[in-house]
Amino acid sequence: MDDEILRHARSFGSVAEAYDRGRPSFPREAAAWLVGRDAAVVLEVGAGTGKLTQQLVALGHDVHATEPDPEMLAVLQRDLPDTRATRASAEELPVPDRSVDVVVAAQSFHWFDHERALAEFARVLRPGGHVALVWNSRDERIPWVRRLGRLIGSQDQVASASAEPLVLAEQFGYVEEASFTHWQQINRQSLQDLVLSRSNIATLDEHDRAARLAEVVAFYDDFGRGYDGMQLPYVAHCYRAQLLGRTGDQSEPGGPDRGPGSPPAEPPTDGDDGGDSDLLLIDFR
């Protein structure tokens, strides 16, 4: 990992509270697809302030959350005091060999040293276990969301490229994909928190950071949604792949067994969006 990426990866602690207030959660349906609906032992890596952790705990899984940044981890422990949480990196996981059913990473896999992290994932997974990844991306098909992206940056929008190391990893099989639409209610303050939580903003000097925030506030005020806020649309892009080489079958995580020569399963449909996503394509301004 080069120095610039490392600098961005380490920037979140200084904005942990803004991250917790401003970042969206993940749809419950996405969490169920990632891990499965049956109770499982889940190791969450790069858990941040616990956005996905909350959904996994609510689904009844036995979750052990790990996060390398102490400030981010402190927020998670404050909000989820009964959940096991450890300060640890993806490259040195604090659990025994073959001890978990699922390793999951939300909005964090792109910060890892992939060769080392994937080797650790393979080490700690039980036979038949799987890795699951998810990223939230703003739906920039919508004109005002696209304008917002131009202001705050869109470097985190291509989840498929971020998942490529899993696709290429020799320890894991076919990578399934699914996506789930959801919306985040934002207002003038939470939009500022969202902006502050981004690594490309957090690493700016104080003057440049204040200038970028002023641009975003002006955009929000000009857009005219006012005190009541607006709905910011997201797509949760999900990926999962089963560990290879420890069992004689190629059973799907959360699905029926398939032989090695079987065609890939059809990905599940999106979360229940009630067909409203088409309406969001209209810019009502």
Between the alpha carbon of residue 65 and those of residues 123, 185, 214, the distances in Å are: 17, 26, 35
Domain membership of residue 262 (yes or no) is: no
Q: What is the pLDDT of residues 168-217, one digit of tens each?
A: 999 999 999 999 999 999 888 888 888 887 777 767 677 887 888 888 88
Domain membership of residue 189 (yes or no) is: no
Q: Three-class SS of residue 285? A: coil
At 51 the pLDDT is 96
Gap between the Cα atoms of 100 and 83, Å rounded: 15
DSSP letter assigned to residue 264: P
Q: Three-class SS of residue 72? A: helix
Contact partners, residue 67, CB within 8 Å, separation at least 6: 46, 47, 48, 73, 76, 85, 87, 88
Domain membership of residue 8 (yes or no) is: yes
Edge-first strand order for the sheet with 100-106 is 84-86, 62-66, 41-45, 100-106, 125-138, 230-242, 176-186
Q: What is the pLDDT of residues 52-88, one digit of tens each?
A: 999 999 999 999 999 999 999 999 999 999 999 999 9
Domain membership of residue 264 (yes or no) is: no
Domain membership of residue 223 (yes or no) is: no
Residue 240 has phi, psi (to 5 degrees) of -150, 150
Q: What is the pLDDT of residues 83-129, one digit of tens each?
A: 999 999 999 999 999 999 999 999 999 989 999 999 999 999 999 99
Structural domains of the chain, count: 1
* Strand 41-45 to 125-138 pairing: unpaired
Cα distance between the two ends of the chain: 43
Tokens coding 62 = 């036995």
Instruction: Work out the percent of the chain whose per-residue pLDDT is above 70.
Output: 75
Domain membership of residue 257 (yes or no) is: no
Strand partners, 137: 235
Q: What is the pLDDT of residues 123-138, one digit of tens each?
A: 999 999 999 999 999 9
CATH of the domain at 98: 3.40.50.150
Q: What is the pLDDT of residues 241-285, one digit of tens each?
A: 999 975 444 444 444 333 333 333 444 444 444 333 333 333 333
Domain membership of residue 192 (yes or no) is: no
Q: Three-class SS of residue 9? A: helix
At 215 the pLDDT is 87
Tokens coding 170 = 């020799």
Which has the closest alpha carbon to 108: 77, 131, 128, 80? 131
Q: What is the pLDDT of residues 14-52, one digit of tens each?
A: 578 888 888 899 999 999 999 998 999 999 999 999 999
Mean pLDDT of 222-242: 82
At 208 the pLDDT is 82
Instruction: Work out the percent of the chain whose per-residue pLDDT is above 90.
Output: 52
Residue numbers of the domain that contains 119: 3-138+156-183+232-243
Q: What is the pLDDT of residues 148-175, one digit of tens each?
A: 888 887 655 556 678 999 999 999 999 9
Domain membership of residue 144 (yes or no) is: no
